[in-house]
A = this chain, B = another copy of it.
Amino acid sequence: MIKTKIFRLVEKGSHGQRMNRLFDYFIMSLIFLSMISIVLESIQTVNVRYSKVLRDFNLVTIIIFSIEYLMRLYVSDITHPSANRVKSALRFIFSTYGLIDLLAILPFFLPMLIKMDLRFLRVLRLTRILRVLKVNRYNDSLNLIWTVIKEKKSELAVTGFVTILILLLASFIMYNVEGEKQPDKFPDILATFWWAIATLTTVGYGDVYPISGVGKIISGLIAVLGIGIVALPTGLISAGFMNKVENRRGTTNKSCPHCGKEIE
């Protein structure tokens, strides 16, 4: 059957399926080349010269991606089994990968609606690499990281919330202190918030900085606080990873290999 063949081509992913692997690598390469073509198109000197080639390549990419999307949609009743065909199709369309694939082609068909160049959304398709690699190790790693972040979610959220309160407070004070002295750099509280973020994260571009004494003291405090803002999540995540490592050990070797009795 043609449907089974398409399914095997786009989804199967078993290591023995040579065609499927070739297809995966082909799509992956196309995504990569597509990324590079967007980068090249942005470079003026290149664009002037190879404008036509790049536009044609873009068109070819969209056509292939569209065919691939339709193929995936066609076999969605196998990949996303549901009560009926329509539900299967919808389940595919609103799955994470389904949405990403749609975002990669949709902007092309809606140029009148969206003015901005949204082709960059294709970069999201690179997440398929994790699937193409098919090495479980990487998926395990991603899962581990994700689990730890989720476990510490509420602590990280509280840290983030307190940070935002401090940033707001610092912005309000700073605006009152530096606003008059540097009206071009601290024109309003939004602009001052930009300074607060740049200082707390220790980026410090140097486009905005205090010149008054009080402003410098506040700036210094925020910068020192930035160290705490790094230390807290790092500590939380360290503890999370440690916990995972210990748990894993705890579940594996709990019996003596010689007498079979439990240890600890």
Contact = CB atoms under 8 A, between A and B. Distances in A.
Interface in A59-106: none
A17 interface: no
A40 to B, nearest CB: 9
A194 B216 contact: yes
A4 interface: no
A158 B172 contact: no
A178 to B, nearest CB: 12
B201 A223 contact: yes
Nearest to A215: B194
A173 interface: yes
Nearest to A258: B261
B243 A245 contact: yes
Contacts of A230: 227, 230-231, 234
Nearest to A241: B239
Interface residues on A, range: 35 or more
Interface stretch (A6-14, A19-27, A205-213): A205-213
Given A172-B120, A245-B239, A142 B158 contact: yes
Contacts of A157: 138, 141
A253 B263 contact: yes
Interface in A211-232: 213, 216, 219-220, 223-224, 226-232
A235 B237 contact: yes
A132 interface: no
A256 B245 contact: no
A194 B207 contact: no
